[in-house]
Amino acid sequence: MSANMELLCTIQSASLGVSRELRRLDDELLERREIVREPLKNAIRAALDAGVPRKDIASAAGFSWMRCYQLIGGRASRS
């Protein structure tokens, strides 16, 4: 095998390794995000169940009601 071919094989192998590791890290990050967001999601749901107005929930969360709605999985809400 020529030196160039060996270098190209090394590049291909490294590229595949990087791709696998990036996929693993993406999966880990998604899982960790869900864990970190869970207390906020629970607090938003509790506020909805208690009848707190959506605009007040959004204001307390620091983002739009639509973002709150997305965060809790599009759950139907009251108020």
Domain residue spans in the chain? 3-71
Look at residue 1 and tell me whether its pLDDT is greater than 90.
no
The tens digit of pLDDT for each residue in 29-55 reads: 999 999 999 999 999 999 999 999 999
DSSP single-letter state for residue 64: -
How many angstroms separate the CA atoms of 76 and 79, rounded?
Answer: 10
Number of other residues whose CB lies within 10 A of the CB of residue 71: 16
Residue 54 corresponds to which tokens in the numbers above? 């959506």
Averaged pLDDT score across all residues of the chain: 92
pTM greater than 0.85: no
Residue 66 corresponds to which tokens in the numbers above? 């639509």
| Alpha-helix runs per DSSP H in the chain | 3-49, 54-61, 65-71
